[in-house]
Structure 1
Amino acid sequence: MGVFSSKPAKPAPVPTDTIIPLHWQDDNSTFRAIVTTIMLRFDDVLDPEKLQTSLATLMEMGDWRKLGARLRMNESGKLEYHVPESFDAKRPAFKYTHVKYETSISEHSLASKLPRSTTRPTVLGSPDDFRSLSQDPDTPTKIDDYLFSDVGQLSLRIVSFNDAMLVSLTWPHTLMDAMGRRALLDAWISVLSGRKSEVPSLHGFDKDPLTTFGTQPSESYALANQLMKGFAFFTFSVRMAFELMWYSKDEHRVVCLPATHFNSMKSTALSELSTLCSEPEQKQFISDGDIICSWWARLALSMVPRNTKRNISLMNAYGLRTILSDLLPADKAYISNASNEVFTIFPAYVLFTHPVSYTASLIRRSIVEQSTRSQREALAALTRQSQASSGRSPMFGDGSTKLIVFSNWTKARFFELDFSAAVVKEGIPLEKRKHGLGRPSYMQSSAFTNGFPMRNAFPIYGKDAEGNYWFSGTLRTETWKTIEDEFTNKY
């Protein structure tokens, strides 16, 4: 586009739309930059019409129509929802496309290359290579695509084969997080399965239930004295920008961590922990996520000098729905963003001089210390202050800190989604597979980030029916090569 190009005119307001401000956790610079897609692979043939009509039915059920809202920006620069009174062909609840191939998925030139499980840790292809399967050319890729059109926030794309189906959803991150996505999928499945009565009410239709969250903290955040500000944050930003410019080539790849390897790694870590930890045995605990984060951080940061005294800030997204059950009742669906972060800060050399179990125990200690209600409130208060003063979320560490980010979706159990009510034909006989009828055999996520750097950020998709863990992320191209070489030589 040339220097004389301009944005299209904003769509005219529709008088019958209900206008709702976005909740405070939804409207921030990070979420505005990201448009996310997930793709589910089914080794069965599902009825696309049933999938479309059941989702449309859900979004016409009372307050659930909010999901079909049009995204707008008001005169104050704040995002708001314009919720149609009803949906029709001119203003549908969501964008829908269906492509059918009269062939096996294994015979399709691109779909045949989708990652499959492996017997050893393996770096696989890039989710971005499959965007033509998960998104049609008109699918929104940035916030302006929503603001300057009358398109809904959800895009559903279905690609059918004779023995399989790909189901993809695209949405702006301002709409929802991983657990919000699971609540949406559960409600969709309830309608699909003829159980409309089980669809919970939508929480927070026109009022933000987290309005007071973080406004009256009762204590200081555990890492408040390590809050980056002034020259420290400037140095941190410059170092990150320099790396992105000097090492400009990076890749988004998928990793399969097979069950056999993970189980061995977990057994070793727990054995090591029992000798390292002086606490009573019943208090010794590290989760699967702690182990994966520790193991992968060492690999992802393998280009960092092993004797460096730089700090690592390992950030884990932390879901708030359980700890804020008084504000976000479990019997209602909260389709929004409800998370903040847990930070684990330690010298980088620790990754290379200590076993996986040690770093995993540091992560677990941070989670235990920072996951109380009062600590979540304290961090939320700092987040409110930082966003109001600088437009960004707070960071912790010093100017030399290296950031690595994890978002673990395992609790959302995406591989357990049951779309069997839409199955019209088995693609693979049930006796020849681990996953059930109408359950995903594979999933992946990709995102348009519009200038927001995603290097060293890793969503953990979860554990499939075979017990394999899947995740993806973006790293420097040469780092991926180093990891691939280690996998080849070690396993």
Structure 2
Amino acid sequence: MQYVVEGWSNMLWGKEDETPTPCGLDGDPFEALANGTRKPTEPHLLMGRKVGIGGMLKWGLGYGFDMLARAKENRMVCIPESYWKTQLEKALEELRDEAIEKGEDPSKVFLTEGDVLTAWTMKSVVGPQNMDPNRTVAGSIAMSLRKAFEGDLIPESSEHPYVGNAFGWGNVLVTARDVNRKPLSWLARQVRRAINEQGTRAQHEAYYAMVREGPGLPIVIFGDGGMAQIGFSNWSKAGLFNLDFAPARKVQKPGASCRPSYVQENHGPIKPVDGFFVFGKDEKGNYWTSAYKVKGQWDRLDEYLVEKLEKGA
């Protein structure tokens, strides 16, 4: 999406010569992952947590029923800059203090804004549901395959960007007790660790080898049959809020921009429950996200957030 948006912007601004030619469509550069000619060089880190047939049936009857049969509601959530930035700074401070206590270098502590948003969302979803503390919570984070396979299966993006679908997954497996009781900094670090460790070329190869060996599904499910599933797809790098439509305005004011103040996706036909899309950050620094939840659960989440904010959490 990033390359499409950037190309669109270049065309609007008369910069056609700055738009790179996409990777050709005469073949699938990721075919090696699909047909097995690219053999994995290491096992997947979560191989021992792969859900078997019985667990998948149990999971499907729960999450699958919610996704396919139950009434759902879609809402937008705006996370103000004043809130998420405070949470990020607090999380980094806690992890640096922990590093110092362990005799480690605090300058190596690293979290992204997305890590904190993902961890905060997991807490916001799990908190109002009164889950069994031992229940597994699986956070599935969509990751692009491009960076891992540039210069290998696909050319460098700066030369010929690949604009087709190319995604893998990073999976965070924790318990409801961990999500509710441990600090946001701890959970954000689990998110960062999952992305770093499962986002390598070797791990993506191992993942798709497991897909090929599976029962015919396009994904591998990690965790257990009774887990709570929360999905994430962060579109911030697409720069949707940075797209400037000023040249398309009938009346142009010199130097005036015309950027989106609101972005929304239209998901279908299947609407995944607790599948969160992060659209990015608007010009005021606020993050916007959207999801479908089972009807009635948004009200509980809203009450939970109000209660947390009143307590200053």
- Same fold judged by TM-score > 0.5? yes
CA contact under 8 A between 1:308 and 1:349: conserved in structure 2?
yes
Matched, 1:221 2:44: yes
Q: CA deviation at 1:243?
A: 4.7
Q: How does 1:325-344 map to 2 (within 5 A)?
A: 325-326=150-151, 327-328=153-154, 329-330=156-157, 331-344=159-172
CA contact under 8 A between 2:124 and 2:305: conserved in structure 1?
no
Matched, 1:478 2:292: no
Q: CA deviation at 1:250?
A: 2.3
1:77-135 C-alpha deviation (Å, 9 max, x unpaired): xxxxxxxxxxxxxxxxxxxxxxxxxxxxxxxxxxxxxxxxxxxxxxxxxxxxxxxxxxx
2:32 to 195, 207, 212: 212
- 1:362 corresponding residue in structure 2: 190
Structure-1 separation of matches of 2:278 and 2:85: 17
For 1:443, what is the secondary structure of its paired residue?
coil
- 2:274 corresponding residue in structure 1: 456
CA contact under 8 A between 2:3 and 2:161: conserved in structure 1?
yes
- 2:259 corresponding residue in structure 1: 439
Give the share of equivalent positions with the same residue, in percent.
28
Q: CA deviation at 1:245?
A: 8.0
Query: TM (normalized to structure 2)?
Result: 0.88
For 1:403, what is the secondary structure of its paired residue?
strand
For 2:75, what is the secondary structure of its paired residue?
strand
Q: 1:245–1:219: structure 2 CA closer, same or farther, 3 Å change rule? A: closer
Structure-2 separation of matches of 1:242 and 1:420: 45
Structure-2 separation of matches of 1:346 and 1:317: 17
Letter in 2 for 1:321: R
Q: CA deviation at 1:378?
A: 1.0
Q: 1:245–1:469: structure 2 CA closer, same or farther, 3 Å change rule? A: closer
- 2:180 corresponding residue in structure 1: 352
- 2:212 corresponding residue in structure 1: 384
- 1:398 corresponding residue in structure 2: 224
Letter in 2 for 1:258: P
Q: How does 1:78-227 map to 2 (within 5 A)?
A: 181-213=1-33, 215-227=38-50
Q: CA deviation at 1:193?
A: 2.2
Letter in 2 for 1:293: T
For 2:42, what is the secondary structure of its paired residue?
coil
Q: Where do 5+ consecutive residues of structure 2 fail to align?
A: none
Q: CA deviation at 1:307?
A: 4.5
Q: 1:486–1:240: structure 2 CA closer, same or farther, 3 Å change rule? A: closer
For 1:314, what is the secondary structure of its paired residue?
strand
Structure-2 separation of matches of 1:269 and 1:426: 44
Letter in 1 for 2:120: W
Over aligned residue pairs, what C-alpha RMSD do you find? Answer: 2.2
Which stretches of structure 1, 4 residues or longer, exceed 6 Å deviation after superposition? none
| Higher-helix-fraction structure | 2
Q: CA deviation at 1:460?
A: 0.4
Letter in 1 for 2:94: E
1:306-343 C-alpha deviation (Å, 9 max, x unpaired): 55211111000011112211133212132210111000
Q: 1:422–1:242: structure 2 CA closer, same or farther, 3 Å change rule? A: closer
Q: Where do 5+ consecutive residues of structure 1 fail to align?
A: 1-180, 431-435
Q: How does 1:220-299 map to 2 (within 5 A)?
A: 220-243=43-66, 248-277=70-99, 278=102, 279-299=104-124
Structure-2 separation of matches of 1:201 and 1:189: 15
Structure-1 separation of matches of 2:67 and 2:29: 38
Q: CA deviation at 1:244?
A: 5.4
CA contact under 8 A between 1:407 and 1:459: conserved in structure 2?
yes
For 1:474, what is the secondary structure of its paired residue?
strand
Which structure is richer in relative contact order (CA contacts within 8 A, separation 6 or more)?
2
Structure-2 separation of matches of 1:245 and 1:196: 44
CA contact under 8 A between 1:302 and 1:479: conserved in structure 2?
no
- 2:129 corresponding residue in structure 1: 304
Structure-2 separation of matches of 1:416 and 1:453: 27
CA contact under 8 A between 2:51 and 2:222: conserved in structure 1?
yes
Letter in 2 for 1:317: A
How many residues are treated as equivalent by the alignment?
Answer: 300
CA contact under 8 A between 1:306 and 1:352: conserved in structure 2?
no
1:220-253 C-alpha deviation (Å, 9 max, x unpaired): 111111111221211211222455589x332110
| Higher-strand-fraction structure | 1
Whichever of the two has the greater Rg, that structure is 1
Letter in 2 for 1:411: K
Structure-2 separation of matches of 1:376 and 1:487: 36
Letter in 1 for 2:245: F
Q: How does 1:409-428 map to 2 (within 5 A)?
A: 409-425=235-251
Q: CA deviation at 1:463?
A: 0.7
Say which is worse superposed, 375-384 or 352-361, in terms of deviation: 375-384
For 2:263, what is the secondary structure of its paired residue?
strand
